[in-house]
Amino acid sequence: MNIGYARVSTTEQIAGLEAQRESLRAVGCDRLYEEQISSVAFRGALQEALEYVRDGDCLVVTKLDRLARSVRHLGEILETLEAKGVDLRVLDLGLDTSNATGKLMLNVLGSVAQFERELMLERQREGISKAKAEGRYKGRKPTAQLKAQEIKEMVAQGQPKKDVAKVLGVSERSVYRVLRAQ
């Protein structure tokens, strides 16, 4: 049985998620797990997929970076899959771990992908430093601070802080931070 896993980093990436869905269905995935969440956050759908797969199944992803956030994470996932007798297929790379060559190529490409990501983050940090030095970098817009009055009013009305965070689209931690600053 082919089990598909699709992921995008943000809720705005609807087209990307739909494209992954279509690709996974086109190769015959019988079941799809999908989520809209950063790779560094807990990914419940990935965990469900890894728990669901059984001996003889194949976990299918469209791209390697949709599955793992680092070579180490990829290794952990592969270890879990191997222990269950499950293969991994990465569509855009044409990789399949059902053979030795596929396993080798997956590890090599996983290392290259991590190297690429680290270079991108390095360039991003350099760009931010340069912009700060030139006085052009303002940082991220303080969304919770802009909603401070609403947060205070809703909490004063007795609404739970967790609900306030959800309604206003900020983190619960930000709600506490705003209230502490009173």
Same domain, yes or no: 100 and 21: yes
* 121 occurs within a structural domain: no
pLDDT in tens, the chain (182 residues): 999 999 988 777 888 889 999 999 999 998 999 998 877 778 899 999 999 999 999 999 999 888 887 778 888 898 999 999 999 999 998 889 888 888 888 878 878 877 888 898 999 999 999 998 998 887 777 777 778 888 888 888 888 888 888 888 888 888 888 888 77
Q: What per-residue confidence (pLDDT) applies to 26?
A: 95
Q: Which domain holds residue 148?
A: 143-180
Q: Give the pLDDT confidence score for residue 103 in this predicted structure.
A: 83
- Are 159 and 110 members of one domain? no
Q: What token pair was written down for 35? A: 């989520």
7 with 85, same domain: the answer is: yes
CATH code of 8's domain:
3.40.50.1390
Instruction: Please report whether residue 126 resides in a domain.
Output: no
Residues 105 and 149 in one domain: no
Packing angle of the helix pair 161-168, 172-180 (nearest 10 deg) = 110
- Give the number of domains in the chain: 2
DSSP string, 105-158: HHHHHHHHHHHHHHHHHHHHHHHHHHHHHTT----S--HHHHTHHHHHHHHHTT
Query: Do 66 and 153 belong to one domain?
Result: no
Q: Which residues of 105-125 are buried (b: 16+ CB within 10 A; e: fewer)?
A: bbeebbeebbeeeeeeeeeee
Active site members = 9
Looking at the fold, whether 82 and 157 belong to one and the same domain comes out as no
Q: What per-residue confidence (pLDDT) applies to 21?
A: 92
Beta partners for 35?
7
DSSP label at residue 23: H
